[in-house]
Structure 1
């Protein structure tokens, strides 16, 4: 073989190699691994199907979306670290997860910061959300795309009692999750917060180890707490949420058009979740009445004032951005 023929064959090989490379890039998809602790029947699981379907319609062939339910990929709370390492592209993270690394975000773990799901969306979809989510990106390396409604926590009592203000919960052994943040909330509500594992709550209510517990209404039904309680007090003391977030490495690598499509898919997923969860909560009030529970509504304004006063004087509040409480309260 002559030198010229070898050179021609080498040149042809390079051309073919380049074509193959460009073809591989054209055929390639951006991998989006999603981790969630939600079970299949939960609206928070179903919303990821909406995300996937919406993205496939708006950006066909651009992304490979893999939804991992039941904390099968990462345990709950481990998602932010996995996203920072590059092992995970998307997740729904809680305010409590964020506050561990960004103390000023703990304002959204406090009781009565948000009045209802509508107020929640207005706060996070406005200037406050823009400001706080930028802090999240700077500190955690994730970009929040949408806010999903997790549920509104209510007080569920073993025995019927008149509850109008926090003073009426004095002496009530109210089960709370074991962290100091949760126990502070129980104390701020006027009760005697009692730490107890979730799996022990049903028996604790049945035997009287605890006098009550707090959870969103769907959890009360799913755990069958209505079988061992007699009253629901609609304190609505914590409007909880989950934040659909994407790793900044993925977000920064996406084109402007892809970013727009990712955000639109996340917002469609959040709307789907929010609409169905709000509807479910409204239906559950009647369900619990049919199960024989008394459903009462206290002086929520009195509860809100007492709880916010307790938080304002707490160590947690020292980390909150100056004036943020007033801005949240003033959002309508």
Structure 2
């Protein structure tokens, strides 16, 4: 039997309307383009390569995956838009999806999850399935697996075991209204700032602290200008591997099953890399002079609660209230 090769695209009618393509034959070779923002050493990238290897194995090489790291295929929002248009097939994305699907905001709510196990259970719960379904319906992209992200921690030059100790601390936060309001409620003076400016601001004393996962604390060399990692764990979040509905519907049912099986393997593979990276990053930072501080997480969570609830929309507020109870 002759085998043909196809990369995904879509037709457009004279009116400009998108023409849905029929499912392809199982003998047709397919190439899926997967773009993401992480670098080549990041567990997300390595797991994406694993996904491609596994999918090729399960389909006897008929479905291949080309992985584009470092935003080389576009920035996150551009990739989502491309998936909706049919010019991109896959990406790794998270709470940015709330621009279309409000429930996606649940992927990164401060102090929503006390432990990794609690977050994992929530991600696969009935509510987690509702989030995925809303993403499919409103964004037209399909979550097929998820990766954990390292919890965000507060670095500083003095320990902050209690939120009462913050007392006007000048710190950098991303330009996210929820994050800004939460840190204000905790007693700090948060200042939005581009990530590229943070090291110099810490070095010259413009700010005294910042918050990020251990991997970024390490890669940005913040250990050179900060003494402590306060284990606030203030945001535990996950992120989805996704495929566009346009690409998904072109696959045969057998190929769809193979995609889901490969995604499951990649998810387990990434989790192993993730857990190792947490341990490696902590050891590296301790070896480079940083002290890790256990904080009163319950006090931080309690003090942040009102700010969190006032920043989430009515659709997810009841769910967040339960998470805080």
Return the TM-score normalized by structure 1: 0.86
The equivalent residue for 2:13 is none
Q: Do the aligned partners of residues 22 and 165 (structure 1) sit closer, same or farther apart at CA in structure 2, a change above 3 Å counting?
A: closer
Match 2:302 to one of 301, 305, 325: 305
CA distance, structure 1, for counterparts of residue 273 and residue 3 of structure 2: 45
The equivalent residue for 1:325 is 320
For each residue in 1:162-193, what CA deviation from the matched residue of structure 2 results, as whole angstroms up to 9, or x when unmatched?
Answer: x2322221211110112323323332443111
The equivalent residue for 1:89 is 89
The equivalent residue for 1:244 is 241
Match 1:281 to one of 275, 278, 282: 278
TM superposition shift of 1:44: 1.1
Q: 1:112 aligned to 2:111?
A: yes
Q: Do the aligned partners of residues 20 and 221 (structure 1) sit closer, same or farther apart at CA in structure 2, a change above 3 Å counting?
A: closer
For each residue in 1:296-332, what CA deviation from the matched residue of structure 2 results, as whole angstroms up to 9, or x when unmatched?
Answer: 11111111222223212x1x323333631255458xx
The equivalent residue for 1:3 is none
CA distance, structure 2, for counterparts of residue 21 and residue 109 of structure 1: 44
TM superposition shift of 1:21: 9.2
The equivalent residue for 2:61 is 61
Give yes or no for contact 1:110–1:185 (8 Å, CA) kept in 2: no
Give yes or no for contact 1:107–1:320 (8 Å, CA) kept in 2: no
Secondary structure at 1:148's aligned position in 2?
strand
TM superposition shift of 1:195: 1.3
Give yes or no for contact 1:169–1:189 (8 Å, CA) kept in 2: yes
Secondary structure at 1:284's aligned position in 2?
helix
Q: Do the aligned partners of residues 228 and 303 (structure 1) sit closer, same or farther apart at CA in structure 2, a change above 3 Å counting?
A: same
CA distance, structure 1, for counterparts of residue 3 and residue 282 of structure 2: 59
Q: Do the aligned partners of residues 328 and 143 (structure 1) sit closer, same or farther apart at CA in structure 2, a change above 3 Å counting?
A: farther
Give yes or no for contact 1:160–1:294 (8 Å, CA) kept in 2: no
The equivalent residue for 2:229 is 232
For each residue in 1:253-289, what CA deviation from the matched residue of structure 2 results, as whole angstroms up to 9, or x when unmatched?
Answer: 3233222211121122122222212222123323322
The equivalent residue for 1:99 is 98
The equivalent residue for 1:268 is 265
The equivalent residue for 2:158 is 160
The equivalent residue for 2:124 is 125
Aligned residue pairs total 307
Q: 1:46 aligned to 2:50?
A: no
Unaligned runs of 5+ in 1: 1-18
Return the TM-score normalized by structure 2: 0.87
Secondary structure at 2:77's aligned position in 1?
coil
CA distance, structure 2, for counterparts of residue 226 and residue 52 of structure 1: 36
Give yes or no for contact 1:103–1:319 (8 Å, CA) kept in 2: no
Unaligned runs of 5+ in 2: 7-24
Q: 1:221 aligned to 2:249?
A: no
TM superposition shift of 1:109: 2.6
Secondary structure at 1:88's aligned position in 2?
coil
Q: Do the aligned partners of residues 49 and 215 (structure 1) sit closer, same or farther apart at CA in structure 2, a change above 3 Å counting?
A: same
> Could you say which structure has the higher helix fraction?
1
